[in-house]
């Protein structure tokens, strides 16, 4: 095959910088100079081929020398000659992210959701809007433009919405993660600066204590008013889902995946402790239930035994349908209950969701002066997140040092003592 390289010039005489011209499809020669650069370092493989975008030989030579120096410095600092676009970076990230040591024990739904997040607005912007830009060309200005793009192009169920600062913050975390990966893989030498909007008032919608009393009292009547057996069952399970969720602070997926075999009891310092090992987005952790939850679990088990006419299988999900399959969502029935009790919105007009149960748990525990470091461990989050979203409850929070415990104990005594030291249970 005849080469399309014409007027070849070996600028340095060692084959590291070659200037040449190319031919058109019709066989005529393009006047523009192209450069082919090889970096003579042990960690460098392959060539970079680019246009100099000039027909002037002297100008093309200077451009090629500048590019050579740039690439030499890049390889010396651990970079690579490979041209990585955002699309290629995303594909490589999705291949390796699930296998990272910290992700192997994480809930698969979280890992998949994190990758899906990067494949949504960031993918649309960097691949579709910026023509699959090379990641080494992404600047802080591009990042700022990306957040503006997301603010203007966010949709939910086909309806245009304005994303919350919390949502923007999550996408910022995702972008930092993928660019950190790019540095680790030596695709780029430094990460672009990613600054997300600061939080002003991102308090989560919760139930105040007087509202909580309305909810717990109203639930009982709501269940008893059921006229059909299937309605009674649905409401009864919803009632206990609310009571248990608000007394442990678990995420929705963590509660949904709980099975009877996961619930364990242990006596620590003459106190009966109820806990479970859950797999959430931060990995595996021990989660302690408030003491009152023992009653709620006993009620559910008795209900299920009567329904089955036999013992409950240990591997069965606690919140299950009549056929034993897990209940995927309580959202619709939860919304109907809150509407029935006129509790859909908080005093700032924010709609309460299932996650309001987790937020209520955090708020009540902080108000009762539970150590925030231990509470963060219990909930699988960080003290920073507690301060950002529940800052209004800090008051006289305890700042005691976390007590070390014997390795023989499954649950740290300090965690049990602090979490059970609150003045009242959530119910």
- By three-state DSSP, how is residue 288 classified? strand
CB 3 within 8 A of CB 56: no
CA dist 424 → 207, 214, 308 (Å): 16, 17, 35
DSSP summary character for residue 391: G
Q: What is the DSSP string of 358-370?
A: HHHHHHHHHHTT-
Which of 390, 358, 363 has the alpha carbon at shortest distance from 256?
A: 358
Question: In DSSP terms, which residues pair with 50 in a beta bridge?
Answer: 35
pLDDT, residue 109, reads 83
pLDDT, residue 170, reads 87
What are residue 7's phi and psi, to 5 degrees? 50, 45
pLDDT, residue 2, reads 46
CB 322 within 8 A of CB 312: no
Q: Measured between alpha carbons, how far is 275 from 291 in angstroms, rounded to an integer? A: 10
Q: Measured between alpha carbons, how far is 345 from 352 in angstroms, rounded to an integer? A: 6
Give the H/E segment covering residue 286. strand 283-288
Q: Which domains does the chain have, with CATH numbers?
A: 5-76 (no CATH), 86-184 (no CATH), 209-419 (1.10.443.10)
Task: Give the global pTM.
Answer: 0.59
Which of 101, 104, 143, 91 has the alpha carbon at shortest distance from 122?
A: 143
* Successive 10-residue mean pLDDT values, the chain, 427 residues: 75 92 89 90 75 94 91 72 84 92 83 91 95 90 91 86 84 93 85 74 80 94 88 96 95 92 90 88 86 95 96 96 94 95 89 93 89 90 79 45 41 66 56
User: Which tokens sit at 105?
Assistant: 């024990």
CA dist 73 → 16, 47, 133 (Å): 15, 15, 22
Question: In DSSP terms, which residues pair with 263 in a beta bridge?
Answer: 276
Q: Measured between alpha carbons, how far is 103 from 281 in angstroms, rounded to an integer? A: 9
- By three-state DSSP, how is residue 252 classified? helix
Torsion of CA 358, 396, 373, 424, to 10 degrees: -50
pLDDT, residue 357, reads 95
């Amino acid at each position: 095959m005849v080469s399309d390289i014409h007027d070849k010039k070996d600028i340095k005489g060692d084959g590291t910088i070659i200037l040449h011209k190319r031919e058109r499809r019709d066989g005529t020669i393009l006047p523009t100079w192209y450069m082919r650069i090889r970096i003579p370092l042990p960690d460098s493989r392959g060539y970079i081929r680019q246009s100099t975008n000039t027909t002037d030989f002297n100008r093309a030579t200077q451009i090629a020398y500048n590019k050579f120096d740039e690439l030499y410095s890049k390889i010396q600092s651990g970079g690579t000659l490979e041209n990585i676009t955002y699309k290629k970076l995303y594909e490589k990230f999705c291949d390796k992210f699930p296998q990272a040591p910290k992700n192997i024990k994480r809930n698969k739904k979280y890992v998949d959701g994190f990758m899906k997040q990067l494949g949504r607005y960031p993918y649309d912007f960097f691949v579709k809007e910026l023509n699959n830009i090379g990641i080494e060309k992404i600047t802080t200005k591009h990042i700022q433009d990306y957040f503006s793009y997301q603010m203007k192009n966010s949709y939910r169920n086909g309806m245009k919405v304005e994303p919350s600062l919390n949502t923007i913050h999550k996408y910022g975390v995702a972008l930092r993660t993928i660019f950190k990966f790019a540095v680790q893989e030596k695709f780029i030498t430094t990460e672009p600066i990613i600054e997300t909007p600061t939080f002003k008032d991102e308090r989560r919608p919760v139930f105040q204590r007087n509202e909580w009393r309305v909810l717990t009292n109203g639930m009982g009547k709501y269940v008893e008013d059921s006229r059909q057996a299937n309605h009674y069952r649905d409401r009864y399970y919803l009632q206990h889902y609310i009571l248990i969720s608000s007394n442990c602070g678990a995420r929705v997926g963590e509660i949904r995946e709980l099975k009877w075999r996961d619930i364990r009891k242990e006596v620590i310092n003459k106190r009966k402790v109820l806990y479970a090992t859950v797999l959430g987005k931060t990995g595996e952790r021990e989660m302690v239930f408030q003491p009152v939850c023992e009653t709620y679990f006993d009620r559910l088990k008795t209900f299920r035994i009567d329904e089955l006419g036999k013992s409950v299988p240990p591997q069965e999900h606690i919140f299950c349908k009549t056929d034993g399959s897990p209940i995927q969502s309580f959202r619709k029935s939860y919304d109907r209950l809150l509407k029935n009790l006129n509790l859909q919105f908080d005093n700032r007009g924010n709609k309460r969701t299932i996650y309001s149960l987790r937020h209520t748990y955090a708020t009540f525990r902080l108000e009762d002066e539970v150590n925030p470091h231990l509470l963060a461990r219990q909930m699988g989050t960080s003290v920073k997140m507690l301060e950002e979203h529940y800052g209004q409850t800090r008051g006289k929070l305890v700042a005691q040092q976390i007590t070390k415990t014997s390795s023989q104990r499954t649950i740290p005594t300090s965690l049990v003592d602090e979490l059970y030291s609150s003045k009242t249970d959530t119910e």
